[in-house]
Amino acid sequence: MGGVIIKIGGFQKVTLLDFPSKVACIVFTKGCNYKCPYCQNGSLVLNTSDGDLVDLEEIFSYLEKRKKVLDGVCISGGEPLIQKNIKELLIKIKKMGFLIKLDTNGTNPLVLEELINLGLVDYVAMDIKNSFSKYSITVGGGNPFLDNIKKSIEILEKNNVPHEFRTTIVKELHTVNDILEIGKLFCPKTKYYLQNYEESDNVIEKGLHGFSYLELEKLKNNLKEVMPNLIIRGI
């Protein structure tokens, strides 16, 4: 891409699930400033070497050929907004005529705002990892960048870019009260998704648990009065 370097660790050719109402592909960037123990993309987060990078030119040539079939490109990770040349990547994808969905953990509000102001993102899915008092432990320890999270929420709310907030819920980390606390951080009209954790070979830390179907039903019933826009994926 004309000398632009970006660490791409994976590419999914088609998804009907990730970009609402669109047929899309997914570009996974490498590296993240969090180390969430339940992260499903552990290898992308922990292995940030240049060794097994996916060739960007191959992705562009795939996109060129699929212009009529694909509506958009999801940029996921890892955390895409820590990539130095993320703007250049999005400009190139936009010029090809694709819509862009961005998945982010919300820790880089300045970059987020710049991309939105430049019209480079059409949909944003931002993770809110937990209630603020449990954020650090939920993201693997260290600085949770809470001011940045608040700022990113504000940016998404004040701009007209369609967006959703979402939380992966883990039995050892989340309670009903945590979800209620998270719900106070944004406008109640915003779409808010809970995704149940499932262990896989690629998670950063094994031994954590998701909720049972019955527990999810109970959670939904407990929350539906105060959080009418909450959706639990899969139930």
* Minimum CB distance to ligand SF4 smaller for 39 or for 223: 39
Question: Which residues, 105 to 164, sit near ligand SF4 by CB under 6 A?
Answer: 105
Question: Which residues, 48 to 87, sit near ligand SF4 by CB under 6 A?
Answer: 77-79
In the complex, minimum distance from the CB of residue 6 to ligand SF4, in angstroms, rounded to a whole number: 16
- Our finding on whether 39 is near ligand SF4 (CB under 6 A) is yes
Contacts of 221 (CB under 8 A, 6+ apart): none
In the complex, minimum distance from the CB of residue 56 to ligand SF4, in angstroms, rounded to a whole number: 20
| Sign of the torsion angle spanned by Cα atoms 32, 40, 102, 106 | negative
The rounded radius of gyration (Å) of the Cα atoms in the chain is 17
- Out of 45, 70, 73, 121, name the contact with ligand SF4 by CB under 6 A: 45
Q: Is cis: bond before 140, omega within 30 of 0?
A: no
Q: At what angle do helices 109-117 and 146-158 cross, to 10 degrees?
A: 20
* Minimum CB distance to ligand SF4 smaller for 24 or for 32: 32
Pairing of strands 24-29, 8-15: antiparallel
- Out of 29, 41, 131, 167, name the contact with ligand SF4 by CB under 6 A: 41
- List interacting residues with ligand SF4 (CB under 6 A): 32, 34-36, 39, 41, 45, 77-79, 105
